[in-house]
């Protein structure tokens, strides 16, 4: 992504698209809040720290936290790790590979698209970029981009692991005719790990977001095959039109981020995430170790207040832009100002704050569970054979 001063040209994009943004099929709605018992289950298993601990060699984050510019061995290593992790959870994986010209010559890029239920009509899509910024020479070529965006990628893998069983069980209920909310059950969770977000030289509309530009264009031209479960889709539906919302994570993991609502259309979704944060904070869920700033009554919100006179503020150049221009509804989770370590060698493990990353994991787990109407209280991990016995009732 690039700073505000160099991206004023995006304001033109914003104004040209703000009136034509595709509203989500289900529209603005109130999400079903989980009970405190259900929340307690989700915030405890799996351990919300183990996947984002940069000092644990087995964590997702430690596997990503290496220099990984596009078309390098390290980039391939990280991609293979992400793919193998999600394949082990039985997600459908698409590797979107292409060659594009850059200021330093042709480069190979590979986007990773992981979809939990490929038969679903729609997706709520979480995304982050897994490449790190290209620097030609030492020591800058050792840049690891901890906040930019190794930590967000690790958070997405944590989310997939935390919700995997719940998503499986919801599909079983749907197939057995036991899911009450047919509309929400038509939406699955999708994760996109973009390659080539960073500019090779100077951020321009052609030297940046290589993977996002390619995928948005490709999906805008790819028509979805008819399927009996896709009852809400018209005959001309394209891949890009099946995205219910694109939730983009970037520059997360440093302490005390300040996140604003950039788009009026997703203000209600922003508010839903604020509600999750508030309930978790008030319940002392953020408390971690000796970190006093996370305890009930002392924690500070990561989100700025919204006001009646707010306007669209989509001026930060990032992977959402090609999707926004094609009418996709966007929730952009990026701090403003950027972390002080942005594009510096100091954006390494020392820039990350474990209590902060743990808090993001908890927020994302609860937020997506409420968005997709998942049911932790009915999960096998809590009530043994609930799904089996429920299916037997209708057999």
Distance CA 328, CA 183 (A): 19
Bridging pattern class, strands 187-194 and 122-129:
parallel
Measured from the Cβ of residue 223, the count of other Cβ atoms closer than 10 Å reads 11
H helices of the chain, where?
Answer: 9-17, 36-44, 60-64, 73-88, 151-175, 182-185, 210-220, 267-282, 321-324, 354-371, 380-383, 386-393
Nearest to 324 by CA among 4, 3, 16: 16
Strand locations in 84-204, DSSP E?
A: 92-102, 105-115, 122-129, 187-194
What are the strands of the beta sheet with 330-333, ordered from one edge?
92-102, 105-115, 187-194, 122-129, 243-249, 330-333
Of residues 117, 197, 265, 277, which has the active-site annotation?
Answer: 197
> By the 8 A CB rule, do 331 and 249 touch?
no
Q: Return the structure tokens found at 385.
A: 């054979």
Of residues 158, 250, 277, 347, which has the active-site annotation?
Answer: 250
> By the 8 A CB rule, do 238 and 342 touch?
no
250 catalytic per annotation: yes
CA triple 213-158-27, angle to 5 deg: 60
95 catalytic per annotation: no
Tell me if the bond preceding 246 is cis, omega within 30° of 0: no
Residue 369, phi-psi category: left (phi > 0), alpha (psi -120 to 50), beta (remainder): alpha
| DSSP 3-state of 25 | coil
The residues annotated with a catalytic role in the active site are: 197, 250
């Amino acid at each position: 992504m690039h700073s505000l001063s160099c991206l004023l040209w995006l304001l033109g994009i914003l104004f040209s698209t703000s009136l034509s943004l595709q509203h989500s099929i289900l529209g603005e709605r109130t999400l079903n809040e989980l009970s405190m018992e259900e929340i307690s289950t989700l915030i405890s298993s799996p351990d919300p720290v183990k996947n984002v601990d940069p000092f644990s060699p087995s964590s997702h984050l430690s596997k990503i936290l290496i220099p990984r510019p596009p078309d390098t061995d390290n980039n391939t290593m990280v991609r293979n790790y992400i793919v193998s992790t999600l394949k082990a959870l039985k997600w459908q994986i698409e590797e979107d590979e292409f060659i594009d010209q850059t200021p330093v010559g042709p480069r190979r890029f590979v986007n990773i698209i992981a979809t939990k239920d490929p038969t679903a009509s729609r997706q709520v899509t979480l995304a982050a970029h897994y490449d790190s910024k290209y620097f030609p020479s030492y020591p800058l070529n050792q840049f690891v981009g901890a906040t930019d965006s190794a930590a967000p990628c690790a958070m997405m893998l944590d989310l997939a692991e935390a919700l995997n069983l719940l998503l499986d069980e919801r599909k079983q209920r749907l197939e057995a005719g036991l899911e009450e909310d047919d509309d929400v059950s038509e939406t699955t969770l999708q994760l996109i790990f973009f390659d080539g977000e960073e500019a090779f030289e100077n951020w321009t509309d052609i030297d940046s977001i290589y993977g996002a530009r390619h995928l948005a264009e490709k999906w805008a031209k790819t028509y979805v095959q008819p399927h009996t479960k896709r009852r809400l889709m018209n005959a001309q539906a394209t891949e890009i039109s099946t995205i219910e919302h694109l939730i983009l994570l970037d520059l997360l993991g440093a302490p005390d981020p300040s996140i604003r609502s950039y788009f009026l259309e997703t203000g209600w979704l922003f508010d839903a995430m604020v509600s999750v944060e508030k309930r978790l904070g008030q319940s002392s869920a953020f408390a971690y170790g000796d970190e006093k700033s996370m305890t009930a009554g002392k924690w500070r919100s990561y989100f700025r207040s919204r006001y009646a006179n707010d306007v669209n503020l989509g001026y930060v150049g990032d992977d959402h832009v090609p999707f926004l221009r094609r009418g996709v509804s966007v929730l952009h989770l990026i701090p403003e100002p950027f972390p002080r370590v942005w594009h510096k060698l100091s954006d390494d493990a020392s820039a990350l704050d474990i209590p902060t990353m743990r808090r993001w994991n908890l927020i994302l787990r609860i937020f997506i569970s409420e968005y997709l109407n998942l049911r932790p209280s009915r999960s096998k991990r809590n009530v043994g054979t609930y799904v089996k016995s429920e299916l037997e009732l209708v057999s």
